[in-house]
Structure 1
Amino acid sequence: MNAIRLQIPAHADYIDLVRICLYGIASKMSYAYEDIEDMKVAVSEACNNAVIHGTPDPNEGVIDISFEPEDHALTIKVNNSGSEALATDVLDKAAPLPDADVSGLRVGGLGIYLMQALMDEVEVNALENGTEVVLKKYLNVASEH
């Protein structure tokens, strides 16, 4: 596997670089435009979470992103080096959205829902020194050019 790795400062100003890199890789793999846009939103949410919940000192923190192309899928891993997140709690609380009443949702708590809605697989893993979000999107053979 030929992983493409990117490391950015843990600051929102650099998330566009991740999106641009993702666009290039996914385009080269022949993903449909709509799938690429979905992946860009999902990776932006993962990076935003890494910025918000990552290291307490924004001048010191970094976000490590790896893009791992496979024959029929792209896996994107977003790692922050902050305090451990309660990964199982995040996914346990990410039950399906209620159809009618969204008043109980906390502000900023929709990122995991978006990632799950837009990607084929989503994992949130607690690491010794932070959190890893793993996003996977399968390549729809019908979308190949």
Structure 2
Amino acid sequence: MRPFDYVEIRVPAKPQYVGVARLTISGLASRIGFTYDDIEDLKIASSEAITNAVQHAYADVNEGEVVVGCALYEDKIEIMVADHGKSFNFEETKQKVGPYHEQQEVEFLREGGLGLYLIETLMDEVKVHHQEGVTVFMTKYVGDEQVEENVETISS
């Protein structure tokens, strides 16, 4: 049995469907127990990735789709946004994805820079796979325990 539930939607690569994906992600994040602020961060980061795919992935053709996959764990959500338009195995793709480093050129992501900066800032982990299109893999943990559990409390 998998340690997560997986939900995948496919939307046409058109601006009017970005909101559909945002609402889906918002609903899924709410089920796990994310705070309002974290859900807003998830919506902004995923919107940037989806909008990027809509604007740039299929510029030469009038058709295309964006695949948004969400893996729901007890303590985190993993979101994949793929613009290559075909189905993919979640675990396989997760293994192939490489981390984004600020030193790397952001050109491969087909983004002007601000979107990638927002994604990197708002999410806990970001990885990018750029073969057969671009797949952005984003992880957000529920709560702040991954940071705060090692912090000492100082009282005055």
TM-score, structure 2 as length reference:
0.72
Q: Structure 2 matches for 1:1-40, cutoff 5 A? A: 1-40=4-43
**One of 132, 136, 151 as aligned partner of 1:133:** 136
Q: What letter corresponds to residue 7 of structure 1 in structure 2?
A: R
Aligned length, in residue pairs: 125
The within-5 A match list for 1:97-116 is: 108-116=112-120
Q: Which residue of 1 aligns with 2:128?
A: 124
Q: Distance in 2 between matches of 1:114 and 1:79?
A: 18
Residue 59 of structure 1: how far off its partner (Å): 3.0
State the alpha-carbon separation in 2 of the partners of residues 110 and 20 from structure 1.
22
Identity of aligned residues (%): 35
Contact 1:11/1:58, CA 8 A, preserved across alignment: no
Q: CA deviation at 1:37?
A: 0.1
RMSD, aligned α-carbons: 2.4
> Taking structure 1 as the reference length, what is the TM-score of the superposition?
0.77
Larger Rg: 2
CA contact (8 A) 2:11 2:66 kept: yes
Gaps of 5+ in 1: 95-106
How many Å separate the matches in 1 of 2:23 and 2:101? Answer: 27
| Greater shift in the superposed pair: 130-139 or 73-82 | 73-82
Amino acid at match of 1:43: S
The unaligned stretches of length 5 or more in structure 2 are 86-97, 146-156
Tell me the residue number matched to 1:41.
44
**Structure 1 residues 112 and 141 mapped into 2: Cα distance closer, same or farther (>3 Å)?**
closer
Aligned to 1:102: none
Query: SS of the residue aligned with 1:130?
Result: coil
Shift, 1:141, TM fit? 6.6
Kindly state the Cα deviation for residue 69 of structure 1 after the two structures are TM-superposed.
0.5
CA contact under 8 A between 1:7 and 1:64: conserved in structure 2?
A: yes
Give 2:62's match in structure 1, choosing from 59, 63, 80.
Answer: 59
Distance (whole Å) between structure 2 residues aligned to residue 89 and residue 37 of structure 1: 22
Deviation at residue 12 of structure 1 after TM alignment: 1.1
